[in-house]
């Protein structure tokens, strides 16, 4: 499916999706920070603390496969979007006997490349990988801006609840 270019009415597909590799670690951290900033989390010490605690998990995950990332890049600008799936050991359930869960994380598109279908293409790649891995469900948390995309793909709200401690 072609993506819309910057100029109105022009249709080109200059975007390629590729798997993230360990050398993409800094880009994945950048996407994680920018994702939270776009959702209104702008406290620098809190963002730095989050990145500090995420660093060993993402670094290990990119190496051992417990974090699978996908990146969108252009020949001209390099990486412009990305997202990933973390694989968590989890209690099985009568609806899902696999003791693993796939959570979508770190979805981010650079502002100049939004509204071109990149997040949808990333999600299609991630969901295809999850299907091939035998996952029955994929989970995510969403911003208000992202909700229509995920609902359009078929994600549904669940009965999860939480309490702040």
Confidence of residue 158 (pLDDT cuts 50, 70, 90): confident
Q: Give residue-wise pLDDT tens across range 23-61.
A: 999 999 999 999 999 999 999 999 999 999 999 999 999
Closest to 83 measured CA to CA, from 49, 137, 53, 127: 127
The CATH number for 21-153, chosen from 3.30.479.30, 3.40.630.30, 3.40.50.970, 3.90.1150.10, is 3.40.630.30
20 vs 98 pLDDT, higher one:
20
- Strand-strand pairing, 78-89 and 100-109: antiparallel
pLDDT at 9: 35
pLDDT at 97: 85
Tokens of 79: 């990486």
Angle between helices 25-38 and 44-64 (to 10 degrees): 140
**Per the confidence metrics, is the pTM higher than 0.75?**
yes
**Vertex 33: Cα angle to 139 and 120 (nearest 5):** 45
CA distance 97 to 158: 18
Domain boundaries, the chain: 21-153
């Amino acid at each position: 499916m072609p993506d819309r270019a910057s100029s109105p009415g022009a249709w080109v597909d200059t975007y390629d999706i590729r798997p993230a590799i360990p050398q993409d670690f800094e880009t994945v951290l950048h996407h994680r920070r920018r994702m939270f900033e776009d959702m209104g989390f702008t406290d620098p010490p809190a963002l730095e603390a989050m990145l500090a605690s995420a660093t060993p998990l993402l670094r290990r995950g990119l190496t051992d496969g417990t974090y699978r990332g996908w990146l969108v890049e252009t020949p001209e600008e390099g990486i412009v979007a990305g997202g990933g799936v973390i694989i968590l050991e989890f209690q099985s359930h009568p609806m899902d006997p696999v003791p693993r869960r796939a959570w979508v994380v770190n979805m981010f598109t650079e502002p100049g490349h939004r509204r071109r279908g990149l997040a949808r293409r990333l999600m299609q790649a991630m969901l295809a990988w999850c299907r091939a891995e035998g996952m029955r469900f994929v989970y995510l948390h969403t911003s208000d801006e992202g909700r229509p995309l995920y609902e359009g793909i078929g994600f549904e709200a669940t009965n999860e609840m939480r309490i702040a401690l």
